[in-house]
Amino acid sequence: MKPSGTTAIVLAVLRREMQSYFVSPVAYVFIVIFLLLLGFFTFQVTRFFEAGQADLQGFFQWHPWVFLFLVPAVAMRLWSEERRLGTIELLLTLPVTVTQLVMGKYLAAWLFIGIALLFTFPMVLTVAYLGDPDMGAVFCAYVGSFLMAGAFLSVGSMTSALSRNPVVCFILAVVVCLFFILAGYPPVTGTISAWAPVWLVNRVADLSFLSHFLSLQRGVIDLRDVLYFVSVITFMLYLNGVLVRGRKSA
C-alpha cells in the first residue's frame, strides 16, 4: 500500500533531512557528546556504582539537563540555515505545503534524537546484569525521555524560524526550554509557594517538562502526561508554521 500524497511528501522531506545529518560529522559529534555527557553525569556525578542500587534513576535524572543544551543545538539550524543560505525561498516555491515541510523537518530531527537515545541501551543491559530492575519503569522512562526531547525540539524548531542566526535561535530555545524545566523544579515551586496560593503553584508546576517526565519515570504512562507533551509539540509546531508562512507571504 503506497502512502498518501501528504504522507509521501512528509517522508521525502524526512529522508532529505536525515541524509543531511549523516553526510556530515554533525550527527556523529552530537551522538558522541550526548553519550559522553550522560555517561559522565551518571557514573561520575551520580556515582552509579557506589550507589549500590540496580536502577536507572540516576541516569534518567540528567536527561532534561542534557537535552536543554543539545536538543536546541540540533534544532537551531532547521530553519535558520535555510534562511541564511536563501534556500527557504526555493523550498516555499515547491509543490509542498508549509505544514508538510514543518512536519518532515521536525520528524527527521526527532527520529535522529531517538537514534541517539537508542545508543544508551547498554545502560539497560548493565543494570540488568547487576540486578533485577523494573523493566516496565525503564520503558516508561524512555518513553517519557523521548516525548520530552520532542517537546524541547518543537521549541527549538519554532525559535529556529525567528532568525537567520543559528546562535540567536539556540539561545532563545535554551531560555524557553529552561523556563519549562524550572516551572516544576522544587526550589522554584518552593519559592512560589511562600507567597502564592496552592492552586497557582500547581498550575505553574503543570507547565513543567520536569514534573511530567518524573511522573512517567515512576513507571506509569499517564495519558495526561502524554497529552501534555503532545499538546506542547502541536502548539509549538503550529507557531513554527505561522512563522514560516509569514516568511512566505513577506
pLDDT of residue 9: 87
Cβ proximity of 80 and 166 under 8 Å: yes
45-60 pLDDT tens trace: 877 666 666 678 888 9
In this predicted structure, the answer to whether residue 225 has a pLDDT above a threshold of 70 is yes
Alpha helices in the chain (DSSP H): 5-22, 26-40, 48-51, 57-60, 63-75, 77-85, 87-93, 98-118, 121-130, 135-160, 166-182, 186-193, 198-206, 209-217, 223-249
Mean pLDDT of 209-231: 89
Mean pLDDT of 32-47: 86
pLDDT of residue 34: 93
Cβ proximity of 157 and 170 under 8 Å: no
126-163 pLDDT tens trace: 888 877 778 888 899 999 999 999 999 999 999 999 98
Map residue 165 onto helix, strand or coil: coil
Sequence spans of domains, the chain: 5-249
pLDDT of residue 51: 62
Map residue 219 onto helix, strand or coil: coil
